[in-house]
Amino acid sequence: MKKLLRLLLIITLLVPNFVKAEELDLAKNAKSAIMLEASTGEIILDKNSHERYAPASMTKIMSMLIIIESIENNIIGWEDIVTINENASSMGGSQILLETGEKMSVNDLFKGIAVASGNDAVVAMAEYIAGTTSAFVNMMNEKVKELGLKDTNFKNPHGLDEANHYSSAYDMAMIAKELVKHEKVLEYTSIYEDYLRKGTDREIWLVNTNKLVRFYDHLDGLKTGYTVDAGYCLTATAKKNNMRVIAVVMGEPDSKTRNSEITSMLDYAFAQYKTTTLLSSSDVIKKVKINKAKDEYVNIVPTTDINILSKKGDDISSITYSTEIDEIKAPIKKGTIVGYINVNDKNKQQIALTVDKDISKASILDLFIRNLGDIFTGDILIKH
């Protein structure tokens, strides 16, 4: 089969189709804003989304992404105990009041970041993962490059104002889009209130800096931000009727306006749009025979659900797809990209295909038994 060029992203948006925020009188007080649907990456609304601004504590979206990937890759664990050093305990701004020498689990530190936006907690985690804060920041910026983002440069993991520390609404939305793939994170970012050190004389009450997790239905994250340079910022996400929306505003004049404008953006998205699943990740696209494999046949499936975003009432029945599948040889592991689906929707989505299970090479005995079976079933013809 003809091989396709490998893409860095599973889904590539070739032509953005969005409405300018000004046309809808949305996000009118924000310096920049963006709203997109998470599964397709399709942009719904845009306002100066590539302009660079200080991101304040929205920086922690990337920090949380590095942390959760470290956990899922078994580099660290939720129950690991972290000893707090002076660098972390001396952090200013929002904090969970860590003390030098205190011991706290990764689970509780992550909660302190996700709920209370603890600068001390994120520095403690950065140093636990990477050894130093600067090494962790290097990991953050490498992830920026991996995601193909052009308007972000991090200088710290917490978001306090610092020269050359910047991002954009677009880049924040793309990082958030990557983060929400890890659904465990949303269990933390959706917490409105909780406690750390429960039952001790140093018990602390955590209240989410993102008040919309309590006051906006279906909203379960992600991160607020405020500094003098940044103004009031928010990256928010909500899921309703199987559609997850991510909305970002930067440079708002106050928290009330910030929350109000995010709410209006989300209301617009859920009122006007819907997603339809064209294919799920369990749908078999094709059954392929593999020579010299222990299992002679393997199912080809999408790596993710394939959704179509459309305006409510629009007819999407004409949307079709085509497939390109590489030659598959054993051994091959589930998750390995073996081709792509090309969808003819307006965004020309291209979604990777994989095998639905690990396939190992056949042994000599496996091949002998298979060939013997073919003889008895008449699949092999003996010529005289």
What residues does each domain of the chain span?
19-276, 280-377
Q: Considering the candidates 32, 57, 63, 190, report the single residue annotated as catalytic.
A: 57
The question of whether 89 is a catalytic residue gets the answer no
- How big is the CA angle at 242 (ends 282 and 303), to the nearest 5 degrees? 30
Where do the H-state alpha helices sit in the chain? Answer: 21-24, 60-72, 86-89, 106-114, 119-130, 133-146, 169-179, 184-189, 212-215, 255-272, 364-377
Q: How far is CA 29 from CA 33, 135, 222, 252, 338, in A?
A: 10, 36, 21, 6, 46
**Closest to 160 in 3D by CA, of 309, 34, 59:** 59
Question: Residue 333 has what pLDDT?
Answer: 92
Residue whose entry in the numeric block shows the structure tokens 């990209």: 337
Nearest to 147 by CA among 177, 122, 189: 177
Residue type, 97: L
Question: Would you tell me how many other CB atoms lie within 10 Å of the CB of residue 244?
Answer: 20
**Do residues 68 and 49 touch, judged by C-beta distance below 8 A?**
no
Active-site residue (options: 31, 32, 49, 60):
60
- Is residue 60 annotated as part of the catalytic site, yes or no? yes
Q: What is the pLDDT of residue 23?
A: 79
Distances in Å between the Cα of 67 and the Cα atoms of 28, 126, 142, 267 are 34, 8, 14, 31
d(CA 6, CA 98): 45
If we measure between CA atoms, which residue out of 198, 195, 188 comes closest to residue 220? Answer: 188
Are 19-276 and 280-377 in the same CATH fold? no
Q: Which of 39, 63, 70, 117 is catalytic?
A: 117
> Which pLDDT score is estimated for 20?
75
From first to last of its 384 residues, the chain has per-residue pLDDT tens of 333 333 333 333 333 456 777 678 899 999 999 999 999 999 999 999 999 999 999 999 999 999 999 999 999 999 999 999 999 999 989 999 999 999 999 999 999 999 999 999 999 999 999 999 999 999 999 999 999 999 999 999 999 999 999 999 999 999 999 999 999 999 999 999 999 999 999 999 999 999 999 999 999 999 999 999 999 999 999 999 999 999 999 999 999 999 999 999 999 999 999 999 999 999 999 999 888 877 888 899 999 999 999 999 998 888 999 999 998 888 989 999 999 999 988 778 899 999 999 988 877 666 566 566 556 555 544 443
Concerning whether 57 is annotated as a catalytic residue, the answer is yes
By three-state DSSP, how is residue 70 classified?
Answer: helix
Fold classification of 280-377 (topology level): Peptidoglycan synthesis regulatory factor (PBP3), Domain 2 (2.60.410)
CA quadruple 20, 23, 24, 27: dihedral, nearest 10? 60
Q: What is the CATH number of domain 19-276?
A: 3.40.710.10
